């Protein structure tokens, strides 16, 4: 199935972001017990990744 280039480029960016975020133990192992706590840790690590870049 053919897909537009912009979709594939966005997919690539998302996959690279997940790869960087999974370097954090709490994200890779889903250490947090609740979905709300996990989203908090995910938001924090995404913000730190954004600041680092």
CB atoms closer than 10 angstroms to residue 27:
19
For residue 4, pLDDT over 70 is answered with yes
Can you give the pLDDT at residue 11? 84
The helices-and-strands tally (H runs, E runs) of the chain is 3, 0
Domain ranges across the chain: 5-52
Can you give the pLDDT at residue 8? 79
CB atoms closer than 10 angstroms to residue 30:
11
**Which pTM was predicted?**
0.64
Higher pLDDT, 10 or 3: 10
Closest listed residue to residue 40, CA positions, set 52, 51, 24, 53: 24
Cβ-based burial of 41 (10 A; exposed 0-12, middle 13-18, buried ≥19) = middle
Give the model confidence (pLDDT) of 7-36 as tens digits: 778 888 888 888 988 888 888 888 888 999
């Amino acid at each position: 199935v053919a897909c537009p280039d912009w979709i594939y480029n966005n997919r690539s960016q998302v996959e690279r972001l997940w790869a960087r975020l999974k370097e954090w133990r709490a994200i890779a192992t889903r250490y947090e017990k609740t979905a709300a706590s996990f989203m908090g840790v995910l938001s924090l690590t995404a913000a730190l990744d954004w600041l680092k870049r």
